[in-house]
Every structure is written in structure tokens, then in C-alpha cells.
Chains A and B, each alone.
Chain A
Amino acid sequence: MTRLHQVLSGAGPYDAVTTQAFAWRELLGERAGGIHAEAIDPRVRGVDPLERLEPAADDVLVFHYSAYAPRLRRLLELPQRKLLVYHNVTPPRYLWRHHPLVAVQCSLGRAQLPTYARAADVAAAVSGYNAAELESAGARDVRVVPIILDPARLDSGGGRAAAGPLVLCVGRLVPNKRHDLVLAAFDAWRRAHAPDAELLCVGEPLGEAYRELLEGLAGDGVTFAGGLRQEELNAAYRRADVLISLSEHEGFCVPLLEAFHFGVPVVARPAGGMREVGGDAVLWTDDPDPALVAELLELAVRDGGLRAELVRRGRARLDEFAPERVADRVREAVDAVVAA
């Protein structure tokens, strides 16, 4: 039987790409081979080093591409059929000053995308935005296969009410996510309308220096929680009154779907593939002016009718990305590469 082995540049405990690889493995059932990564965080279980990858001649390699990975690239020379899933690579312009090594990796990662695009028998991307980038890199007939959100993983954990309104911001602490703008908007809202409000930023930092930089910008009421276990993240969503994202670059943005699942209204900037995911269920603003975002937060938290409508629309968006629907797209991509 043809087995599908998934290969990633890196596997981390809070990483969306790693989570997807596990979701695909679950979906593929007995056709699933191993998950292999070039760099594996010691906290991750169930992922093997690339050296242990031993595909049979009839097997398929699924490349989840999200970063430069020299050893991953060598796998392109293997004779097995290849399915490329493009999750996007952060433009290095955000990183040169904050983390030169990661900037170099992102620069190389984007530069090498055409090599992967040419080598793939079937190309897929998690959003139309990513698909357009992949087509620019030379891939043809790129399929859009969105992220699988498994609702079962969102069931765990409790949740207790916060003392004041809670604003949640979920995403790695990296410059393109623009936490500096989130901090400014939250501070403006707190001063103008909500002195007891709290902001909880969930996500692992790019590095200690960057975390310290953000902590230096933060005013009162802000907590940087780092990466949270799933049940802790679920509890945070249950407590939250609104989710905020002022990111400038997103290939998909899983937190939008998570917020819809928990019935949390969203205020966000429509970066990259976000509008495809959020549709009409988000209070979008292209302008990150702190005063404007603060007023959107005020509406999202205090206007009961608006909140109810956003929650209703969020549920409809969630239906669009229902696991059964996405599973069909995954199966179509898999069938296409198996038939190649």
C-alpha cells in the first residue's frame, strides 16, 4: 500500500504546521506514514528525525513547507512522488534587525520555493493567498487545502470569568505579528474606556531579546503567557471577550477559527490569507491607528447586538472550514499525487 510520509522543516509544541501534520496523519489513517522533521523541539512527541525516513519506492512524500531547511531540500532528489503543501514563509524584512539568523533562513526559504514548486508532482497551499505566491514561484494548478481545525482539541480545559474585559492575542511573538500595535491599541482602549481591562498575549517569543523589547512597550494590564498547553489556551478563549490581531503577514491564521469556535468576536487587520478565513465575521481595519482599534475593541466588547451578530457569522465561517469539508480537499490532493 502507498504510504504518505510527511516531512517538515521543524516541529514545535505550539507550531501550526506541526499540528497540521498530526491532523493529516489522523485523517490519512492506515495510509499515513511517519512524520519527520529536520529540527525537533524536545517537547514534541511523535515526530522522527529526517534520517529515519525510509520511504518505499511507491510511497509519497508530503512536504509541509514553511521555512528554509537544507536537509529537507535533499529529499527533493528522491524518486518518490511529492506533494507540496505551502504554509508560507515570513518575509525577512521583518526580521533582519531582530533575529538575523531567522531572517537569513526566511530569505533562503523564500528564495528556494521555486525549487520545491518545480519538484512537486502536486502543489497545494493552505489559502488562496499562499496559492498565488506558490504560482508565482512556478507551481501549476495549485490546490487550496485549508488548515484542518479539529474541534475535539478545543473541548478540554475549564475557564473562569476575568475581573475585567479580557483581550486575547494569539500568535508567536514575532515582529510581523505587530504586537507593538496591539499593545498601543490596548493601552489606548484601557485609558479611554476600560481601566480594568486585561490583555493576554499567548505565543512563544522569537527570542529573549524580542520578548524583553515587547515587555518594555507594554503598559498596565498586559500579560505575556508564552506558549500555552491546549487546555490552557482553550481556557483563555473561554475567558476572552475579544480576540485581536494586527498582524501584517499571515498565510492563514488559525486563531480566527479558534475564536469563532469559542464565540469570541474578532478585531483584526486583513493580512495575507486572513480575509479568506474570517470573511464577514470579523471587524476588519486596514488602519492600525491605536485610537481606531481601541474604538473597535469598545464596540466588540460592549455592543451586545454586534457581538451576537459576529458570533453568528463566525459559526457560519466555521462551517465553511468544517473538518469534513477540509478532509475532502486533503483526500483530493492525496488522490491526485497518488495518481501522478
Chain B
Amino acid sequence: MTAPEEALAKASERAAALRAEGRYPPAGEAPLDDTFIDDVPGIDTLAEWAVIEVDPDVLFSTRRLGGPVTALKRLLLRMMRQYHVEVEARQTRFNIALVERLRLLEQRLERLEGSTRE
């Protein structure tokens, strides 16, 4: 019997041995590792998010008989498409302009910091 306190060391030893035999793949990054980001995202991430594009598949219903409710919601969305496209376009225009303005400010700040150091 393995004591609970010994299990981790034993498992680690066995994992290394079996990995050496090729029975486990080499350790690597997990699929979601690079999807987690700091709570103050960088400028490139902001630029990516500036473009508003919402997948209609996010509309669904969890109610009983949710199928028809989901279909109705998506139909209404399609009927209002002209309006939503306009809203998305205006919001995207503002977002992109804001991100570019921020990028310019960062560049100016870098130049200023550089000249101060010199």
C-alpha cells in the first residue's frame, strides 16, 4: 500500500520512467495556457478587441422548449440586422480611433522618456 504522503513522489518517479520509455508525451504547454491574460491587457490585445463582431450563436435559450425560443431570438436578430450593423460599425470606429490614439500617446511617452534619459 502507498501512503497518501508518498503518493506524489511515487507518481512523479513512475511518470518520469514511463515518459523515458515513450509511453507519455513530453511535457508541454496546455491548450488554454496562452488564452489567459493580464487584467490590464496590452495595446495589441486592445486593438484586437476593438473590432466588435458578435457571433449570433451566442443567442440561445435554457428554457424548456428552448429550441423554438432560440430560433425566434435569432430571427429577431436577423430582422434588426441593419440597425445592429450600424451600431457595431460606430462602436468599432470609436474603439479603433481610441486605441490608435493610445498607441500614439505611448510612442510619445517613450520618446520623452528616451530624451530625458539622454
B24 touching A217, Cβ below 8 Å: no
Report B-chain residues with C-beta under 8 Å of the C-beta of A294. Answer: 15, 24
A296 touching B30, Cβ below 8 Å: no
B118 to chain A, nearest CB (A): 37
Does A86 lie at the interface of the complex (its beta carbon under 8 Å from any beta carbon of B)? no
A180 touching B2, Cβ below 8 Å: no
Chain B contributes a number of interface residues (CB within 8 A of A) equal to: 36
Is chain A's binding surface mostly helix, strand, loop or mixed? helix
Which residues of chain A from 191 to 236 have any CB-CB distance to chain B below 8 Å in the complex? 191-192, 207-209, 217
B19 to chain A, nearest CB (A): 5
Report B-chain residues with C-beta under 8 Å of the C-beta of A261. Answer: none
A98 touching B35, Cβ below 8 Å: yes
Does A292 lie at the interface of the complex (its beta carbon under 8 Å from any beta carbon of B)? yes
B31 touching A303, Cβ below 8 Å: no
Instruction: Out of A289, A290, A306, name the residue touching B4 (CB < 8 Å).
Output: A306
A296 touching B11, Cβ below 8 Å: yes
A185 to chain B, nearest CB (A): 10
Which chain B residue has the least Cβ–Cβ distance from A95?
A: B36
Answer whether A299 and B11 are a contact pair too, CB < 8 Å, given A42-B62, A43-B62: yes
Q: B52-60, B84-92, B107-115: which lies at the A interface?
A: B52-60
- Chain B 1-33, CB-CB to A under 8 Å as 1, else 0, gives 111110110111011101100011101001110
Q: B37-45, B71-79, B94-102: which lies at the A interface?
A: B37-45
Chain A contributes a number of interface residues (CB within 8 A of B) equal to: 48
Which residues of chain A from 163 to 212 have any CB-CB distance to chain B below 8 Å in the complex? 175, 178, 180-181, 184, 188, 191-192, 207-209
Most chain A CB within 10 A, of B5, B12, B32, is at B32
A208 touching B62, Cβ below 8 Å: no
Expressed in whole angstroms, the Cα–Cα distance for A288 and B63 within the complex equals 37
B36 touching A305, Cβ below 8 Å: no
Most chain B CB within 10 A, of A175, A188, A285, A292, is at A292
Between A and B, 16 residue pairs with Cβ closer than 8 Å are A93-B36, A93-B37, A93-B38, A175-B32, A188-B24, A208-B60, A288-B30, A290-B24, A291-B19, A295-B14, A296-B11, A303-B1, A305-B1, A309-B1, A309-B3, A309-B4
